[in-house]
Chain A
């Protein structure tokens, strides 16, 4: 529900980074446990980027499954969060990734710096 404000935060960070250059491509990583909808975020970033004068970048959103570290030592991609560890079946695990929204790549149209 708050994809617009997240898009605003992304564009702020990108603007700071790009220093006025148009943006060619933005790669964003969205964890499936971030509570953020990838499609809605895609739409919102396009709108905010245009409004903020960042150009019309290609937006690539990679959705990533939670990464879990089990007490048995196995680290695995957890596509079905209600299923236990593929090795020991247990649920004593720590989610180490897949909860956040991260900017992974920024390509600008400007000169090589």
Chain B
């Protein structure tokens, strides 16, 4: 009988790959966002709206279980996009993202978005090489989602609260959701906005421009 006390981090392999991607991206002065939220919260819509501002300064890696529909939407907005189909997996991993980065032309790119598979739990703990995790929630989901899914929100550097145009139809307290987000991640920048009307998009854009400038 042999007994070994250990401290083996099973995420170590993924973390090494993520660190390599981070090195490549930072070396080029690119700021990278890992966008995480439920299916339907508006991640792709947010990227379409963001594309209007950044144009060719922006590129997108799309993660979905199935189809390249989202990459097609991003390309239709005039933006370079690479689709990853996970074939069932509930989150992207660093190897998939490294492969996608290799397929992008990074020449004019200053900001890279990785739209993770729609899921509020599994993507949270998987490092992809990003500079920041941005959580996206939307009003129809209810204002208690940050409280219920702390694993994502403790890691979030920013939170987008999308679909504010629906406020008149729902019992949603933006204050409550924002307060919970700040409890979970003290320095998180919380940005209520609507992709539909454009309300609040200016704060999102200046947050991103600030992040690029600090690269």
- CB-based contact A103/B124 at 8 Å: no
Distance A1 CA – B180 CA, assembled complex (angstroms): 25
Contact between A81 and B6, CB atoms less than 8 A apart: no
Instruction: Chain B residues near A33: list those with CB within 8 A.
Output: 125, 150-151, 154
The answer for the CA separation of A1 and B159 in the assembled complex, in Å, is 23
A10 within 8 A of B: yes
Judging by beta carbons under 8 Å apart, are B9 and A100 in contact? Answer: yes
Residues of A close to B90: CB separation below 8 A: 1-2
Interface pair B3/A107, CB less than 8 Å apart: yes
Q: How far is the CB of B136 from chain A (nearest CB, A)?
A: 17
Does A51 count as interface, using CB distance less than 8 angstroms?
A: no
A1 touches which one: B13, B122, B186 (CB < 8 A)? B122
Interface residue B121 (Cβ < 8 Å from any Cβ of A): yes
Contact A91 B183 (CB under 8 A): yes
Instruction: Please report whether the interface of chain B is mostly helix, strand, loop or mixed according to DSSP.
Output: mixed
Once the chains bind, are A81 and B154 in contact (CB under 8 Å)? Answer: yes
| Residue in A closest to B180 when the chains form the complex, CB atoms | A82
Query: Which residue of the partner chain A has the closest CB to B125?
Result: A35
The distance in angstroms between the C-alpha atoms of A35 and B15, with both chains bound, is 16
A-B contact number at CB 8 A: 91
Is A110 interfacial (CB 8 A cutoff)?
Answer: yes
Contacts of B8 in A (CB 8 A): 13, 17, 102-103
User: Looking at the complex, which one of B147, B151, B186 makes contact with A34 (CB distance below 8 Å)?
Assistant: B151
Structural contact, B122 and A35, CB atoms closer than 8 A: yes
Main secondary structure of the interface of A (DSSP, over half): loop
Residue with the greatest number of chain A CB neighbours at <10 A, chosen from B2, B5, B13: B2
B89 contact set on A, CB distance < 8 A: 2, 5
Q: Does B182 contact A (CB under 8 A)?
A: yes
Task: State whether A102 touches B7 (Cβ < 8 A).
Answer: yes
Contacts of B2 in A (CB 8 A): 21, 107-108, 110-113
Chain B CB within 8 A of A95 CB: yes
Residues of B within 8 A of A (CB): 1-11, 13, 89-91, 119, 121-122, 124-125, 147, 150-152, 154-155, 180, 182-184, 186
* 20 A–B contacts from the bound complex (CB under 8 Å): A2-B89, A24-B1, A34-B125, A34-B151, A35-B124, A35-B125, A81-B150, A81-B183, A82-B184, A91-B183, A99-B154, A100-B11, A103-B6, A103-B8, A104-B6, A104-B7, A105-B3, A105-B5, A105-B6, A110-B2
List the 8 closest A-B pairs by CB distance, nearest first. A103-B8, A1-B90, A35-B151, A9-B10, A107-B3, A33-B151, A92-B186, A35-B125
Residues of A within 8 A of B (CB): 1-2, 5-6, 9-10, 13, 17, 21, 24, 33-36, 66, 81-82, 84, 91-93, 95, 99-113
Q: Told that A21-B2, A91-B183, A102-B8 touch, could you supply 13 new A-B pairs with CB distance under 8 A?
A: A1-B119, A1-B121, A2-B90, A6-B10, A17-B6, A24-B1, A33-B150, A81-B183, A82-B150, A82-B184, A99-B154, A100-B125, A108-B2
